[in-house]
Amino acid sequence: MTALILLCVALFLVLAAEFINGWTDAPNAIATVVSTSTLPLSIAVPMAVVLNIAGAMSGTAVAATIGKGIVTTDSVTVPAIAAAMVAIIAWGAFAAHRGLPISKSHALIAGLAGAAVAGGGFGALLWAGWTKILIGMLLSVIAGFGLAFLLSKLVMMFAASASPRRAKTGFDAAHIFTAGTMAFAHGMNDGQKFIGIFTLVLVLGAQIPAFHIQWWVIVLCGLTMGLGTSLGGWRIIATIGKRMVNIKSWQGFVATSAASSTIITASIFGIPLSTTHTITSAIAGASSSRRMGDVRWGVLGTVVKGWFMTFPICGLIAFFAAYIANFLF
């Protein structure tokens, strides 16, 4: 009976973390389209909800990397996973309250690593999987910023002679499309991560014989993330789309194009990366291409501090919480 209760608690906490993911990370996808008044919140939010869910249901490559590719399954227990989820939820809620667009991906990975190290030492980490993590970290910032910067230069070059009204109409339409693509990409990468953890808990709880992602898990996690998106952490939209930069619709189109293409490419290869880092870097790249002063570097610096704090804080909280949970249960 105790084992069943622990299993239910752990699964509930994974879903709670997925809800927080939708609440705090998903608004990044529509930050530019809302802050530029290209779409009102009343339309942007339902669009993000539907496309986030669709993205989460579009594949399992990232879920497999997270669920069985970064730690050994014999180093973690159901109580340890539950403890790791508490770390993610606590840090995510704090960041959302402060309007900080932190990476739930890094929070999840750090929490899982902390729980695994608590149970099996550093030998519990699968370094082949961590190579993908490192690639994702670099790709999110370098590709996000670089692609947006270069694409912005091309847009300014080829659209310089266009009628301002016609150009704005065209870019508004394109921006809506790429914001939707960004929402889909978020689900395709971030949404799948918690599907992998949910499946891992089912394996550890002896509910399924091996790591095989069930269709109902994909649906359940996708809908949970969609619910979080529908409620939304709109302070994060204000931080990314207004406080950090003051962007035009064409720059939002550029940023979401660069970010979504980077995330979708990574997802196809099962590379988990931070959608928050990717879109934030892309927005900075699109804005700085015209004038470096268009980016409020002080605000961006605060955001980056949140990024650097996420890994050690979530890792340490999960380590100690998992150590205690393993001792008690």
- pLDDT tens readout for residues 121-161: 998 999 888 998 989 888 888 999 999 999 999 988 877 66
In whole angstroms, give the CA distance from residue 278 to residue 261: 10
Q: Which percentage of the chain shows pLDDT scores above 70?
A: 91
- Of residues 164 and 219, more confidently modeled: 219
Residue-wise pLDDT tens digits, 29-64: 788 888 888 888 788 888 988 898 899 888 899 999
Q: Is-contact 29 52, C-beta < 8 A? A: yes
Reduce the secondary structure of 142-198 to three states and give it as a string. Answer: HHHHHHHHHHHHHHHHHCCCCCHHHHHHHHHHHHHHHHHHHHHHHHHHHHHHHHHHH
Torsion of CA 201, 115, 236, 250, to 10 degrees: -80
In this predicted structure, the answer to whether residue 292 has a pLDDT above a threshold of 90 is no
pLDDT classification of 241: cutoffs 50, 70, 90 = low
Q: In sequence order, which residues have a C-beta less than 8 Å from that of residue 129 and are 6 or more positions away?
A: 65, 69, 70, 71
In whole angstroms, give the CA distance from residue 275 to residue 272: 9
pLDDT classification of 243: cutoffs 50, 70, 90 = low
Mean pLDDT along residues 247-266:
91
Q: Is-contact 299 240, C-beta < 8 A? A: no
Other residues' Cβ atoms within 10 Å of the Cβ of residue 158: 9
Phi and psi at 38, nearest 5°, equal -70, -40
* Domain residue spans of the chain: 2-328
Gap between the terminal Cα atoms of the chain: 13
In this predicted structure, the answer to whether residue 237 has a pLDDT above a threshold of 70 is no
Other residues' Cβ atoms within 10 Å of the Cβ of residue 248: 18
pLDDT classification of 238: cutoffs 50, 70, 90 = low
Q: What is the pLDDT of residue 99?
A: 64
Residue with tokens 């790591």, as numbered in its chain: 211
Q: How many residues does the chain have?
A: 329
Residue-wise pLDDT tens digits, 162-177: 777 777 888 899 999 9
Max Cα distance, the chain (Å) = 72
In whole angstroms, give the CA distance from residue 195 to residue 15: 9
